[in-house]
Structure 1
């Protein structure tokens, strides 16, 4: 990434036959964690998602693990990130099957974020969820509320998400698929988090589904920070903008040493081959390829 857009990765030279002006275009690294790369892939992802939008309400749901579990997630990134996806999907599909709320399977697009605005480690999954869904027979079920201002009870989502996550986390420990330095500390942490409130953010997009797709598109093919947020780089420090959600979303500046900036950035480099964007429910890749899948419904 340090060689991105430099001569070390090579370049193309464009020249004008009339004025003989030359322009040097340095090659990009293509790394999915690079703040400079991913623009074309992002635009393609946005176009693909916009083309899949259906005439139904969409909701923005965010599943977050408690702060007490972040150190465990840091040491078991692949296992805990995978479980975070699974717990969120399980929660949405479980409530979707309930006749009170939908009575079918919704479409879900999940995107993993690991950072807060100040680059601290803060794993959470953003989900775009359809208000309508598909029945077992593959028939479309219209959203229950015409105004599209409610999907599932927030407290119910929090309870199911917490219960599933902790049950599976304990199963991973039993099967020795978790790296644990101190078993007593692990048990103490589990006892602590099972009696606290887990945060699940739930809201319908204010300006329609396009808004949340555009919002998530900023993070689908980049990690942690974009270059436009960096305001100053000195020989010893880096200053960048961040939004302080605890202080009425005010825009602030934070200055870190080079070493601290790199330490925080490194926390968000994903395990090799780990997929950070996943589709589930009737939007899963398996359902898309079925003959009676949702694409047939759209065209009919």
Structure 2
């Protein structure tokens, strides 16, 4: 299947240099690295491979990917590998989908404090589910969850929220049994919303007291504790949005959902329509509407399009996908094995299959099919990355 005609890389190659010059001093090193990676992705600059089709002997050149997690072209392969690992961890139970969002005033200051508030958002949303699920008045069990951080809306505006996938039940406190929730009900959204609101507000106050929040522009006066308390006060009285979607129709539906959400970036290449010297037009979806009317288009000035794309670059080391509860990385394997035993499910044989494959002599294939016949492309040669000339070193002044 042919790829999209337009790509984010095309826009950055055409307008990135001018945008960087105009915004010099206002762009982080991480954002600059993302731009550079996307511009160079699958070009001779990164090297590549020569492959020959096993069926028709057609030779094909494929340049290497940048593998940057913000690159729209590089996420399909990363998602495929991640999903293969998650498939062996799926439990034969009903799964639920929860969404935790931040009110706009907090989202605004999160834009200036990404690392701290994104971490707070993911931790508070997970703690909310774990604490309510552990309460005997609700489920009385230790829950597990996969949390995925998204920071954008359809128009690439700043809209941090967490998508959470939760099995419908949990381990008893002594780990002796699996406690299942009701068929179409996991936990009360109203109860979740109130605890989530309290945990976020308490977390923000602690961050402010520790001097870990920065404020600029219209929010500069929030550095004062009294002003910050006044800023938070109205948020204590409103309902916070915690959304529970319909439960998934089995583990396969969970995988299909995860394949669309875990490695998504702010905008995919498939949503681009056209761009020129002045503007970029792309598809958007208005989630407040239903039916065909929710799909429309938006045109932004090219500089604004690039700015919006880059505000969703995560701080270095920030994890977008996290596991909590009995899915926590430390005890995940043991917990899943125990739950499978309690549910009477045989252990996955996938690990044995992987070990068998790993002992075989590796044959390197391209992930792409042959463009002529669709056969497998076997790598026969490697192309070294293009060498870029460097400026000569500045002459050293002689020591006096």
User: TM-score by structure 2 length?
Assistant: 0.70
Tell me, what secondary structure is at the counterpart of 2:300?
strand
2:240 match: 198
For the Cα contact (< 8 Å) 2:83–2:255, is it kept in 1?
A: yes
For the Cα contact (< 8 Å) 2:92–2:250, is it kept in 1?
A: no
1:215 match: 257
2:302 match: 258
1:60 match: 97
- Give runs of ≥4 in structure 1 deviating > 4 Å: 15-21
* Alignment partner of 1:42 is 2:79: yes
Matches within 5 A, 1:179-198: 179-180=214-215, 181-183=220-222, 185-198=227-240
- Residue of 127, 141, 155 corresponding to 2:190: 155
For the Cα contact (< 8 Å) 2:95–2:248, is it kept in 1?
A: no
2:133 match: 96
Cα displacement (A) at 1:244:
0.8
1:74 match: 111
Cα displacement (A) at 1:17:
10
Separation (CA, whole Å) in 1 of partners of 2:199 and 2:313: 26
Cα displacement (A) at 1:206:
4.6
Q: 1:13 to 1:55 in 2, by over 3 A?
A: closer
Q: 1:212 to 1:192 in 2, by over 3 A?
A: farther
* Alignment partner of 1:176 is 2:211: yes
1:233 match: 275
Q: 1:149 to 1:297 in 2, by over 3 A?
A: closer
CA RMSD of aligned residues (A): 2.1
1:126 match: 163
Output one character per residue of 1:222-264: Cα deviation in whole Å (capped at 9) or x when no partner: 3211111112222322211121112226111111121111110
For the Cα contact (< 8 Å) 2:92–2:251, is it kept in 1?
A: no
Q: Which ranges of structure 2 fall in alignment gaps of 5 or more residues? A: 1-37, 345-400
For the Cα contact (< 8 Å) 2:100–2:241, is it kept in 1?
A: yes
Q: 1:287 to 1:206 in 2, by over 3 A?
A: closer
Cα displacement (A) at 1:175:
1.1
Tell me, what secondary structure is at the counterpart of 1:105?
coil
Q: 1:142 to 1:204 in 2, by over 3 A?
A: farther
Larger radius of gyration: 2
For the Cα contact (< 8 Å) 1:69–1:189, is it kept in 2?
A: no
Q: 1:213 to 1:121 in 2, by over 3 A?
A: farther
For the Cα contact (< 8 Å) 2:178–2:339, is it kept in 1?
A: no
Question: For structure 1, which segment, 120-129 or 201-210, has the greater mean C-alpha deviation from structure 2 after superposition?
Answer: 201-210
Q: 1:123 to 1:11 in 2, by over 3 A?
A: same
* Alignment partner of 1:144 is 2:203: no
Question: For structure 1, which segment, 6-15 or 170-179, has the greater mean C-alpha deviation from structure 2 after superposition?
Answer: 6-15
Separation (CA, whole Å) in 2 of partners of 1:140 and 1:248: 42
Separation (CA, whole Å) in 1 of partners of 2:160 and 2:241: 12
Output one character per residue of 1:259-290: Cα deviation in whole Å (capped at 9) or x when no partner: 11111011100000111111111111122255
